[in-house]
Chain A
Amino acid sequence: MLHDLLFRLHALTRRRDTENELDDELRFHLDRQTDKYVRSGMSEAEAARRVRQEFGGLDQVKDECREARGVSFIETLVQDLHYAVRTLLHSPAFTAWVVLTLALGIGANTAIFSVVNQVLLNPLPYPNPEELLAARPNDSLPNLEDMQRQTNSFSSSGGVNIAPMDFTGNGEPARVHAAHIDASLLVTLGAQPMLGRWISPDEDVKGGPRNVVLSFSFWRDFLGSDPYVLGRAIRLGDNGYTVIGVMPKDFTLPEHLADVFVSLWVAYPEGASDRDLHSMHTYWRLKPGVPLAQAQAEIAQMDHRLAEEFPDTEKERGTLLIPLHEWLVGDARPALLILFGAVGLVLLIACSNFAMLLMARGMARQRELMIRASLGARNGRLIRQRLTESTLLALLGGAGGLMAAKAGTTLLLALKPAELSRFGAIHMDTRVFMFVFAISLLTGLLFGLLPAWSASHGELAEALRQNSRTTATGVSRSLLRSFLVTGELALALILLAGSGLLIKGFLRLRSVDPGFNPANVITMYLQLPGTRYLQIPLQTNFRRELLARINAFPGVEAAMITDLPLAGNYVDHRVVIDGQPPPAAGTEPEVQTLSVMGEYFGVMQIPIRGGRDFGAMDREDQPRVAIVNEAFVRQLLRGQNPIGTRIDWARSNEPHQWMTIVGVAGDVKHSGLNQAVDPAVYAPFSQNDEAWRKFMTLVIRTRVPVAALIEDVKKQIWSLDSQIPVSDIQSMDDLLAVSIAQERFNMLLLGSFAALAVALAGVGIYGMVAYRVHQRTHEIGVYMALGAQHRDVLRLVMKDGVKLGLLGIVLGLAGAIALTRVMVSVLFEVKPTDPPILIGVALLLAAVAMLACYIPARRALSIHPMTALRRE
């Protein structure tokens, strides 16, 4: 074995010497043999001829010797590569065209694979991520602590609750995302601070020290990456906190961005002890070897126990453990897999074109191949030579694809919808490079083998025999070409149908009336800071004053609301309706609750369908009023006249403080355009009895350019109170666009893949017809000389293309009906077998195919009979 290896190496490194020695050795043999025959009386010439005959092809023997020495593989490869580079450089147009085709196909695949790799394949950035689970729904800290104590399946578990906190004392007040955590969260995730330490369990108690751990970005952006930050005091809310640690740059919570980490027990003890406050996202780490089912069973038992112990609040528990990765990928998975499948079809089409180009080239080079074959080159050797060439081409295409993908991912990033954004930047790692290399190699070998194989199969012999250029169409090759063209069209139709469905769904979605007019509306989020606005009258005064000042700007109407359509995070309350038999406590219907002030319905242009809008008379000392939406009337009032009906929040102990419904507002798609409208109750801020509603969104309709206004509005806010953070400044149009970004992303991507597919398939069928025309120049010439009309000639050359095109479209329709079914989850109000779409895309593709046939066919008309005949 070792000898073998050394021998091969030796032979390789002394390639030229070995080659000379081989020459010398064989030459010696031939000379001796010739000598022998001459001595036995033959003439020199006769002897030489005899010897050559006996010996066989000299090149072939040399080849076999090289093979026997074991150097031939690499040596031949080098030789073939030389040859391939030379021939490719010889026909730059062909080379460029092939590389471009493959670069597009491979590039699109690589771009999507980069996303799939990042989102679906890369592990979570925590150690042993397969042990991590997320629990749904959210829970309260007392429940979490009970479950931590009474379960055995988990090595650790922790919870986090994201709450806004004001960071002041550093220029503009900033609203930062504070993670209210319990100390075991970091243990569960398996992370470590980069500087300092994490909050210890004995500090994570009521009245514990006010310590804070910073995120890397907070440390960098707000504290200038201060290396001596540990022990420094910062102001969060109305309290001073001591910095005890900084997290590393790449650390993030599984689902949230957080700027600072503080103990829930320390920052918000009322919330920490409230069993009913189910707002914590909890994460669990399985003990090694414990199956998920066992853990789930234990949690179910815990749910049962808690429900028995706390029937008031914990009756409806149903905690579900989900592997964290699965939970995070959630919605993105089906869309990504569909896109990945689609882009795979694009590659198949590109590969078919590749194969057809190689075949056409093979035909053009038939003479060269014939000569080489007659010089003793074996079939296998010729195939190998052509495979080297096709693989080289495919690898070049792969390199081009990598560049295309680089540009493509930049584009994807720009389009990146919210569902994907938590996965951070999309970058190309080794796996992506391996992927590109693998598909390029496979493409080159497989699709290079098809034409190489069909060419070596009998055709050479045939060509040799006929040695004419008129009718050398091998049957197997023509069949293969037809198959490829048909397949391309079928695949293109499937992609077209898929993207047609998505476009239709998207247009439907976009034409959904959100229930308000988003044009010229700017929104911003404010939060009244800590301890200075504890009473409702103080809050009301602030709001009223702010509205008055902003309304005084020329060209401005203003309004306020706690929650904004399409912004997410609603406050839901259970509601009771006067005059209806009260449902059992805890089963009252849930509605979205929104507090408003000012001309809210006017600014948002939400129509009032009945009754009246809020007015100046609905002040804090007046009877309590409410406006409900139409969904409320439809779903909850059972035909009762809404105006005058009294409603209240479901309260467990206090007496009812009824609100009288004075108006009905049009439905607003609060949760998203593709979501159903839930019942909603609007109430005036001034009659609010919930002092914790200190957050609000300021909604301003403008008649002047919005950007100029933002700074003035901020100044007004800060002239009232310089400690109020303002954030999330965006236009309503942007909010609307963000809410359908995922759908737009899917549509644009699949749409561009379909366009690429159609273009490639068009080129494929064009190439086939053009080739036929070229091949049959002579025949057409004769035909025309015999008096054929233009129409007849067109029919002759287009016939095959059109036939194959139609066949491909029919097959594609069948394929589309079978395949678009997987798209159900990403389609909005469109059935996967939507007849107008299917018919439409079939017609479109048919038109493209006709055009692709017609253009080269027209060239047949310009053939001059005499020239064609003379070519013979």
Chain B
Amino acid sequence: MPARSIDLPQGTLDLLILRTLSLEPLHGWAVSERIQQISSDVLCVQQGSLYPALHRLERRGWIKARWGTSENNRKAKFYELTKAGRRELEIEQDDWKKLTAAVSQILETS
């Protein structure tokens, strides 16, 4: 574990989950592993908060779940992106880019 990892800003967890699932269907544990790996351990996903987020996204119809067999041969719940989820991901990615661009512009010009 790195000396200091950053807590996720409010609302970004959904975006990260959607992005992660856009590559391939994954189960919950893999999602948390993937986020940690890709962000080189900078982002720390509170594991307890991952599941409520997954269930919320499922309720909204952005991801759907099915039971499958995991890489270590156990029954696991896999999530995959739906069409609506893909659209939502694009919108949120766009928004995020605009937001970060604006914020960094302000930070640089000050």
Contacts and interface: CB of A to CB of B under 8 A. Distances in A.
A65 B51 contact: yes
B47 A33 contact: yes
Contact of B77 (A7, A24, A67, A70): A24
A65 B55 contact: yes
Interface residues of A, number: 26
B28 interface: yes
Contacts of B72: 32, 35
B47 A54 contact: yes
B98 interface: no
Interface string B40-56: 00000011110111011
Nearest to A70: B59
B60 interface: yes
A64 B52 contact: yes
Contact of B47 (A24, A31, A55): A55
A25 B59 contact: no
B27 to A, nearest CB: 7
Contacts of A26: 51
B10 to A, nearest CB: 15
Interface in A171-227: none
A60 B59 contact: no
Interface in A18-35: 21, 24-26, 28-29, 31-33, 35
Dominant SS among interface residues on chain A: helix
B77 A25 contact: yes
Nearest to A64: B52
A28 B52 contact: no
B16 to A, nearest CB: 16
B4 interface: no
Dominant SS among interface residues on chain B: helix
Contacts of B76: 25, 28
Nearest to B50: A29
A3 B64 CA distance: 12
A3 B61 contact: yes
B79 to A, nearest CB: 10
A24 B67 CA distance: 11
A28 B74 contact: yes
A479 interface: no
A64 B55 CA distance: 9
A673 B48 CA distance: 80
Interface string B62-79: 000001001010111100
B77 A21 contact: yes
B48 A57 contact: yes
Interface in A32-88: 32-33, 35, 54-57, 60-61, 64-65, 67-70
Given A33-B47, A61-B51, A64-B52, 17 more contacts: A3-B61, A8-B59, A21-B67, A24-B77, A25-B28, A25-B51, A25-B77, A28-B28, A29-B28, A29-B32, A31-B74, A32-B29, A32-B72, A55-B48, A68-B52, A68-B53, A69-B59
16 contacts: A3-B61, A8-B59, A21-B67, A25-B51, A28-B27, A28-B29, A28-B77, A29-B32, A29-B51, A33-B29, A33-B47, A54-B48, A64-B51, A65-B52, A68-B53, A69-B59
Interface of A: 3-4, 7-8, 21, 24-26, 28-29, 31-33, 35, 54-57, 60-61, 64-65, 67-70
- Per CB-CB distance, the 8 closest pairs between chain A and chain B, nearest first, are A56-B48, A64-B52, A68-B55, A68-B56, A3-B61, A68-B52, A32-B29, A61-B48
